[in-house]
Structure 1
Amino acid sequence: MTEINQKTRFRIEGMDCAGCATKVDKVVRRAPGVHDVNVSVTAGTMVVDHNDQTDLDGLGKKVKSLGYGISRQDEPAASAPVTAGLHGHEHGAEEGAFWGSAKARLTIACGLALGLAFVIARFYPDAATWIFLAAMAVGLIPIARRAMMAAINGMPFTIETLMSVAAIGAVLIGASEEAAVVVFLFLVGELLENIASGRARASIKALASLVPKTALLEQNGKTVEVAAASLGVDAIILVRPGDRIPADGTILTGETAIDESPMTGESVPKTKQQGDNVFAGTINQNAAIRVQVSALAKDNTISRIISLVEEAQETKAPTERFIDRFSKYYTPGVMVVAALVALVPPLMMGGVWDEWIYKGLAVLLIGCPCALVISTPAAIAASLSAGARRGMLMKGGAVLETLGKVTRAAFDKTGTLTEGKPKVTDITGIGQSAAAVLQWAADLEAESSHPLAKAILAEAEREGITPASVENGRAIGGAGVSGTSGDTELFLGAPQAAEKQVALSDAVKAEIEALNASGKTVSVLIANGQLAGMIAMRDEPRDDAIAGIKALTALGISSVMLTGDNQRTADAIAASLGMEARAELLPEDKQRIVSELRQSGAIVAKIGDGINDAPALATADVGIAMGGGTDVALETADAAVLHGRVMDVAGMVSLSRATMTNIWQNITIALGLKGVFLVTTILGITGLWPAILADTGATVLVTANAMRLLAWRGLPQTGVQR
């Protein structure tokens, strides 16, 4: 029978460190029919690649045997099993106050037992050993149980194993008081990890809280308050001034200013009117609008951002994969070193057994790999979240890491460096005022949907000109449009067509040539058989295009424009932006040029609209889709700039470099502290509880350092943060 390969996504409750993810990974990977497993501690998810013979229920029981809650991603969150109490795995719920979790309760119980032991031991010093042993047991029994379950499932070298061996060994050499303190400090460290990982996980999911729970749905001429999650596609909703928009959609009626800062970070509201798209979670400021819903709650922009970032967190960066491989050998290696420290000096150098066993146990605690293993995923999770909150989606740690190495940026022109729609740039009146020329042109184009017609009508609206109706209006294929406005016969079209009706002077021809040379399209207006004026239009660069290219240059990245447009237009746009242009290219030409750039040694980012540039996007080291929150922008390429800002390309590079710097800082902190305390332990300066305190401190420092990336606010419009 043919096997059918499937991918199933699970939500895992209670993971708060890289060791947790490793244990879940190993136990699931051993299940029959499982081909691959990808666990993300930062996202709290697991993706299993398996065949149709895999027992998913049995797989879930295996995960629960380690003490974690597990539920299918497509099941309601409420169905997630609750983790056990004090004698199970103490990773608590991820909702609510941290002190309400089972982990916090265990830590508090252990702390109270330790405090009580110190008090009782003062009155009964002869029984101090047994008193502290009882206090230690409160925390150690659950830890030892987790170590045993991990060993049964093929993982003998876990942090719980190191902790259990060190604590039991300390008791055997008469250091029960110190062993109890060490167990308590270990639980405090785990609780701090839980709090830190919860913050990282919540940073992106906070976006979900931006969407209101209810909406005003229009039904039978009335508005009814309904759950926002129940809105269907094409439903009509009313959004009042001051309300958050409950769904992605298109404005049917009304004009208002929309505050998109919750999603884009832009401080200036955008004016939106009929036909414009609006997004769930943004704020309607000025006037009531009616919106036609375009996406279900599970498919709106915010939901897709959350989903994509979670999936990205499951994709490990090369550095993270290296650290994971390193840690597989690191923990057993630590146990060997600890054994050598405990045994060699007494056996070969006449050392005191208790002293060197004590030092060996301290080495075990120093060797805990948590801080090292969490150093990379914590920084990547924070970075992906910070980028997503500003509309910069990077699909995984590998993409994030590669972006920082980019040396060459290849941009599409239309819709990427430019808005993708022409604008009126010049109006010249010949025997008429510029206003009259625009009025007549608008009259002729009032019923047209041609891009150039839309540009003329948009300019007329900006100037407060209302188009009048024309008689006998008609489009002349390949030439222009004609009609009668009042008693004036009008024609608006290409210079070549206009010249067949009226003679164009050398001066007019020179002006047309100059406008064409700057990449502009010229339409000539004729009124009653006389030359009346000209209107020039061009697809203008985005507002931040110049600043965006300059920002890339400041980061050491050179830019090139790859476009199918004519060379003259490309040169004009490229010159205004300060970059090189290669024009009149087919999609395969763009792909070839990207390949050539890579072969020359450049690390290439290709930035395009995600459709026509698909071959080049796939060929580049990093493909970046420039979009406006569309499905194409979200699903195509390795990364997406959701809000169409050229500056965000430089922002991605800057964020990547900041992330890699942060990762190396974390690795230095983790290994540096371990190195210092290893030396001081061998010299007899520090012992068991400073060793575990150093490990806890390193984990907290590394996590806190990574969380600094959550505060990243993007590049300013002037200057670049290196």
Structure 2
Amino acid sequence: MHEHSSCCSTRKAANKPACSSVARPVIQKITTVSAAGTPDACCQDSSCSSGDTADDEGELPGDGQRFSWQISGMDCPSCARKIEAAVQRLEGIDHARVLFATEKLVVSAQRDIRQQVEQAVTQAGFRLKSSQGTTPNASFWQENRTIILVSLLMLASWLLSSVDATSGRLAFIATTLAGIWPVGRKALQLIRSGTPFAIETLMTIAAIGALFIGASAEAAMVLLLFLLGERLEAFAAGRARRGVTALMALKPDEAVRLRGEQRETVAVDALRPGDIIEVAAGARLPADARLLDAFASFDESALTGESVPVERQQGEKVAAGCTSVDRQVKMEVVSRSGESAIDRILHLIEEAEERRAPIERFLDRFSRYYTPAIIALALLVMLIPPLLLAAEWQPWIYKGLTLLLIGCPCALVISTPAAITSGLAAATRRGALIKGGAALESLGSVRTIAFDKTGTLTQGKPRVTEVVALNHADETRMLLHAAAVESGSSHPLAQAIVAHAATLNAPLPAAEGQRALAGSGVEAWVNGRHVLISAPGSVSQLDAAQQAQIAELESAGKTVVVVLEDQQPIGLIALRDTLRPDARDAIDQLKSLDVHSVMLTGDNPRAAAAIADELGISYRASLLPADKVQAVSELNQQQPVAMVGDGINDAPAMKAATIGIAMGSGTDVALETADAALTHNHLSGLAAMIRLSRATHANIRQNIAIALGLKGIFLITTLLGITGLWLAVLADSGATALVTANALRLLQKK
């Protein structure tokens, strides 16, 4: 019964205004949020209406100001690391991080360092977006002109060499110089910004070295293949980000606001809670809003993955980005600017990138030592045979240059983030939000899932099934007094009692001094009498017959509350929650994955047993929040555990579990505490998330095998003199392309 008594005093956590979110989904060039969170420092946009402390960028280390920029020109996650390295070297920077999925740079600093950061990013070869809006998309020619030019020069050089070898050699040198200019310039920028061992540096050294030893045709081919590989990598990265950019585009830029009989078109950022808006048939909602019409159907597939339109009744809330299917509707805005469902998901996606998977962090550290080691090995290959064994210089210099290209760690470094980015995007498209690579990795290891009952396994909308008067009390009067005590509570059981009393068509008496009693119930004064609604286990005044009645009701899977007036029992109210339609199927799917399920509930053991038996799972009942934490901790000692819940009282247990999963309809506290969320509210998404996590693990292993396997093969063949420079580029660019393509398969994972 604790679930009733403890939650009667709680309310859903109010959404805090997030000032720096106002620019979503199109974030402008620069925003700043002071550590103090004062209104003046907080708001860079007139549409920000609150000075509440809000850090849209996540919890960055340091106590200084937060700044953020949009960045373009990133082809892969390794580009994000290069920008971080360039910015982190600046004096006064506490922390810098690049969110690759949303192309955003977030910096924490002790002072205004905007100019220095912008210079550092530009010097590293990347572009900041205009402060007046987003940078227009580059044309096909702008994106591919270097590749087209080098390809044409390569073709001309080949044709010329077939006519005259000397002229052909000069043409290949000219082609190499044309191709090396953008690559070498980028390498110089990266060296200055603190990334000396980038692939651009290795390519430049290899191409120049090839020219010096007379391998001009191979030098030109190396650069062409490299440029093609980079372009393919950028295309694949764009595919992986497409789910996020599509989400950012879900909200329209403008909305139709009603002021009396007048209609006015306003920017979405100008909408405030309480505004009345009009949404045409086929149009998307600009903000979270409550339906004012009697009913309407909405396509929610973009957010939930549910393909069938959902019919909403008057007063129900509909998320931003959903589409009105068949009619024009009037709605009342309920979300502030930057705080709609889409904005929250984007914010969580950004936060997720900080929570990188352990294997990804390991590979990043590994690559810092791997690349210098490869350069040292290449130098040894160039120098030792000629100096110690009197071998010819040219063949061994050629082999050393080839090793430089083979040793590039690009494919290895991208093997994990490419798979994780694809996995997270695939989950988001199917209505499951996973907060980062660490959470995605943990999901695959889960062997037990602990469920809250009310609102998780059940629909959280119980209804009154029996009302029993005790000690000759008047049944109607008893029910009205109980409803008066429960009025105003957000707990499902309380709302069910109030709703049932409303069917009597009688006015509720006034209740005074309403107070929740932790662990037992709720009390108030009604018409001068003390009325207490409590769990049966906390009532000592019940006789044997009354206890038998309660036992009979509870054995049928019902939750029973006792109504006492002036310390004497006057009635019993029995309520029954119904299972979610997909609960049984979800449990069966988890069993097929060898995942054990257990229900942790504050409800009475008999009601819990009825639900557990229906689902075929084990249970623990009559648990306080602290008991749930203890139960999860005990299970966690045996094997990795996921905790699924929706209420404030579930948040501690979620935190104690290996991974916490929140229902999308849950409280803000539960959603913020959780490592993952089922935005579509379907329990079947649990098995899908675990399958996706395991598939991502397998994909990462495959990618690492591809990256290291190709390098190993070409390393041996190079030392044996079988392969040369252009095949070495295939070992790098080809492996990167294969790894990225393999990761993109996760987007199609069912």
Superposition TM-score, scaled by structure 1 size:
0.81
Of residues 658, 665, 676, the one that matches 1:639 is 676
> Given the alignment, which residue of 584, 601, 620 partners 1:582?
620
Q: Does 1:252 align with 2:292?
A: yes
Structure 1 residues 237, 152: closer, same or farther in 2, change over 3 A?
closer
Offset at residue 699 of structure 1 (A): 0.9
Task: Kindly report which structure 2 residues correspond to 1:277-288, keeping only aligned pairs within 5 A, or say none.
Answer: 277-288=317-328
**Structure 1 match to 2:123:** 65
Change (3 A) 1:209 1:44: closer
SS in 1 for 2:106: strand
Q: How far did residue 457 of structure 1 move?
A: 9.7
| CA–CA separation in structure 2 for the residues paired with 1:371 and 1:582 | 48
**CA deviation after TM superposition for structure 1 residue 692, in Å:** 0.6
Matches within 5 A, 1:468-617: 469=505, 513-521=551-559, 537-598=575-636, 600-617=637-654
Shift of 1:576: 1.6
Native 8 Å contact 1:17 1:370 kept in 2: no
Q: How many residues align?
A: 652
* Structural mapping, 1:103-182, within 5 Å: 104-182=144-222
3-state DSSP class of the match of 1:46?
Answer: strand
State percent identity of aligned pairs: 47
| Residues 645 and 666 in structure 2, CA contact (< 8 A), matched pair in contact too | no
The residue that corresponds to 1:50 in the other structure is 109
One-letter amino acid of the structure 1 residue matched with residue 624 of structure 2: L
Structure 2 match to 1:357: 397
Aligned to 2:638, the other structure's residue is in SS state coil
Q: 1:420 to 1:129 in 2, by over 3 A?
A: same
**Secondary structure, counterpart of 1:339 in structure 2:** helix
Output the CA distance in 2 between the equivalents of 1:471 and 1:411: 38
Partner of 2:698: 661
Determine if contact 2:484/2:510 at 8 Å carries over to the other structure: no
Correspondent of 1:101 among 142, 150, 161: 142
Specify the alignment match of 1:16 in structure 2.
Answer: 75
Q: Which residue of 2 aligns with 1:322?
A: 362
- The aligned amino acid for 1:647 is S
Aligned to 1:230: 270
Deviations 1:304-346 (A, max 9, x none): 2123213312432101001101111111111122223333333
**Counterpart selection for 1:386 from 426, 430, 448:** 426
* Separation (CA, whole Å) in 2 of partners of 1:136 and 1:471: 88
- What is the aligned counterpart of 1:418 among 436, 440, 458? 458
Residue 368 (str. 1) matches residue 405 (str. 2): no
Q: Does the CA-based 8 Å contact 1:623-1:637 persist in structure 2?
A: yes
Equivalence for 1:33? 92
Within 2, Cα distance between the matches of 1:32 and 1:471? 68
Match of 1:688 among 693, 702, 725: 725
Q: Is the 8 A contact 2:650 2:670 kept in 1?
A: no
How far does residue 601 in structure 1 lie from its aligned partner after superposition?
3.2
Distance 1:203 1:141, change over 3 A: same
Q: Distance in 1 between matches of 2:463 and 2:651?
A: 27
Counterpart residue number, 1:529: none
- How far the C-alpha of 1:448 sits from its partner, in A, is 9.5
Counterpart pick for 1:706 among 734, 743, 748: 743
Structure 1 residues 380 and 455: CA distance shift in structure 2, 3 A: same
Instruction: Report Cα offsets for 1:448-498 as digits up to 9, x if no partner.
Output: 9685696589899xxxxx96845999999999xxxxxxxxxxxxx99x9xx
In structure 2, distance between residues paired with 1:221 and 1:403: 52
**Displacement of 1:65 after TM fit?**
0.7
Instruction: Give the match for residue 259 of structure 2.
Output: 219
Q: Is the 8 A contact 2:465 2:574 kept in 1?
A: yes
What is the RMSD of the two structures over their aligned residues, measured on CA atoms? 3.8
SS at match of 1:146: helix
- CA shift for structure 1 position 202: 2.3
Q: 1:516 to 1:19 in 2, by over 3 A?
A: closer
1:173 Cα offset (Å): 1.1
Residue 26 of structure 2 is matched in structure 1 by none
Unaligned stretches of 5+ in structure 1?
81-92, 429-436, 461-465, 480-492, 497-505, 525-533, 714-722
Contact 2:485 2:511 in 1 (8 A): no
The unaligned stretches of length 5 or more in structure 2 are 1-35, 37-61, 469-474, 515-521, 524-532, 537-544, 563-571
State the secondary structure of the residue aligned to 2:597.
Answer: strand
Matched AA of 1:61? Q
Q: Which residue of 2 aligns with 1:263?
A: 303
State the distance in 1 between where 2:67 and 2:719 align: 48
Q: In structure 2, do the counterparts of structure 1 residues 621 and 49 end up closer, same or farther at CA, with 3 Å as the change threshold? A: farther
Deviation at 1:688, TM superposition (A): 1.0
Q: Residue by residue, what CA displacement relative to the aligned partner does 1:50-76 show, whole Å, maximum 9, x if unpaired? A: 323x6331122112111111369xx55
Matches of residues 278-317 of structure 1 in structure 2 within 5 Å?
278-317=318-357
CA contact (8 A) 2:451 2:457 kept: yes
